[in-house]
Amino acid sequence: METAAQDAGFWKPVASMLSPRSFLGAAEFKGKIIVVGGYDDRHSLESVEMFSPPTDDQPLGQWTKLASMDCFRSPVSLVVYENRLIPIDHAGGLETQVEELVPDNGRDVDDLTTWKWIIKRNLLGVNYGVGAVCVHV
């Protein structure tokens, strides 16, 4: 995997994902990159990973496994809304289940490894999508 860098050479190598995938959802959240779902050449995934940017101790950055979603999702988009992460399945059928990654009660809200997925509702009437975006007005 590679990332853009400011200094010599535009692309720089970074740590490889724990589970390589395509058709994933990704978003920047709390200074990290969160990746959800996707497809691993065999099946759709429910797994979630967090990328922490490079530091002196981890010059390639670091991927960390987070709580898995309740649903396998591929293709999927990931949106941030009011300090929550919401995956939106592109091909979920007429009743796509909506879940959110939220802080576990009483846990450190900055430690995403303690967050959990909760099921909110079904998103009715969406048969297929090609992307998602959240706009605050």
CATH code of the domain occupying 12-124:
2.120.10.80
Q: Which residues of 50-74 are buried (b: 16+ CB within 10 A; e: fewer)?
A: bbeebeeeeeebbbeebbebebbbb
Domain boundaries, the chain: 12-124
- pLDDT for 127 equals 53
Q: Look at residue 6 and tell me whether its pLDDT is greater than 50.
A: yes
pLDDT (tens digit, 9 = 90+) per residue, 42-69? 999 999 999 999 999 999 999 999 999 9
| Count of H-run helices and E-run strands, the chain | 0, 10
Beta-sheet pairing, 84-89 with 76-81: antiparallel
Mean per-residue pLDDT for 98-126?
81
Query: What does the alpha-carbon distance between residue 51 and residue 66 come to, in Å, rounded to a whole number?
Result: 10
What does the alpha-carbon distance between residue 72 and residue 19 come to, in Å, rounded to a whole number?
14
Task: Tell which wins on pLDDT, 109 or 52.
Answer: 52
